[in-house]
Amino acid sequence: MLVVAFEKAPPDARLVLPVPIRELGLRLEESPVAEYVRRLYEELEAAGLHHYRPRCYLSDEWGCPSEEPVIGIPFYLGDPRVRRIEDAINDIENEREIMMYLRHEAGHAFNYAYDLYRTDEWHALFGSFRRPYRDDYPFVPFSRDYVRHIPGWYAQKHPDEDFAETFAVWLDPDSHWHSRYANWGAMRKLLYIDRIAHEVGDVPPPHPSGETDVTVDEMEQTVEQFYRDVHADESEMIAGLALDTDLSDIFVDPSRRREGLEYRPAAELLAEHRRDIIDKVNEWTGVRRTLVRALVVAAEERVRELGLLAQRDRSRSEMIELTVYITALSMTFLTGKRPLRHRKVP
């Protein structure tokens, strides 16, 4: 059975592991995430969309079922105990990320609610709505033909994602899209959404609601089984990495510590910056977050096992070097030219 690090969650949170999700009694309107949905609706109103309020519901993941103007929100955001389990295993979304995903899914729902994806103009700007989806999609880093919103150059995944990302940037009151995307090819798409929003702002959508995907009331598996089913196992991908030699070059072996210098456990330093390293490497390389996280966690665990130290007056440069190292490993995977660097097997 897949090993999931439940022990990293607080003891009180682990009490819900054997509970079927449908029996957690979760209701979106009574959950912590309800405040973010309210903020989304306020942003839609401020943007001039007076009749568009996509229905939101707690589900197994972020999503908007294809051609259905509804928004699924991960159930773990609706329960403080499950939030702590998610945070221990995958890193919980912060406030900025929750709003980022809500705006993105609202873009999908807006597209479906007003049947925009059926028009010739939409296809001319974004591409074929019927193009097959690919999880491992090609992209051009730093292309100015697409907005930048969700990490991994996500707008380039599919025309429908391109629209949703463009809508999210247009809706975000802090995006300053008029100036940030001036002279970009993506500006044509932003102006299209701006025009359409003004045209339909006072028009009720032809499809105000739709069919939901998985709801919490239908999720019969326990919290523990859910995480065992969905947790990405990257162990095979990173097995055999030459971490010992590389990490010993970055940090200080206890046998090499020098008198008069201050040290701290390198694992503590890495733990403090773990989330930032994962977020930034994922954002700028486009390598899937689960793999980047597995690399960072593996490095942290090995640093702890080796007892490596961080020199206090060099901690900044050590973290820069470690981030570059993780980035190099991630990019090696991304290029597909060779597997992640392994130690030689005799």
Tens of pLDDT, residue by residue over 149-183, are 999 899 999 999 999 999 999 999 999 999 999 99
Tokens 């499809």 belong to which residue? Answer: 207
Q: What is the pTM of this model?
A: 0.90
pLDDT at 315 > cutoff 90: no
Please name every residue paired with 264 in a beta bridge, in sequence order, or none if there are none. 310
Can you give the pLDDT at residue 333? 77
Secondary structure string (H, E, C) spanning the chain: CCCCCHHHCCHHHHCCCCCEHHHCCCCHHHCCCHHHHHHHHHHHHHCCCCCCCCEEEEECCCECCCCCCEEEEEHHHHCHHHHHHHHHHHCCCCHHHHHHHHHHHHHHHHHHHCCHHHCHHHHHHHCCCCCCCCCCCCCCCCCCCCCCCCCCCHHHCCHHHHHHHHHHHHHCCCCCHHHHCCCCCCHHHHHHHHHHHHHHCCCCCCCCCCCCCCCHHHCCCEHHHHHHHHCCCCHHHHCCECHHHHHHHHCECHHHCCCCCCEEEHHHHHHHHHHHHHHHHHHHHCCCHHHHHHHHHHHHHHHHHHCCEEEHHHHHHHHHHHHHHHHHHHHHHHHCCCCCCECCCC
Which range, of 105-109, 153-157, 248-252, 312-316, averages the lowest pLDDT? 312-316
Are 219 and 60 in contact by the 8 Å Cβ rule? The answer is yes
Are 142 and 149 in contact by the 8 Å Cβ rule? The answer is no
Are 29 and 95 in contact by the 8 Å Cβ rule? The answer is no
pLDDT at 336 > cutoff 70: no
Q: pLDDT grade, residue 111 (50/70/90)?
A: very high
Are 114 and 196 in contact by the 8 Å Cβ rule? The answer is yes
Long-range contacts of 268-274 (CB under 8 A, 24+ apart): 268/310, 269/310, 269/315, 269/318, 269/319, 270/296, 270/299, 270/300, 270/303, 270/319, 270/322, 271/300, 273/319, 274/300
Say how far apart CA 185 and CA 166 lie, in whole Å: 12
Can you give the pLDDT at residue 234? 85
Can you say whether residue 111 is alpha, beta or left, with left for phi > 0 and alpha for psi between -120 and 50 degrees?
Answer: alpha
Can you give the pLDDT at residue 346? 32
pLDDT in tens, 186-235: 999 999 999 999 999 999 999 999 999 999 999 999 999 999 998 888 88
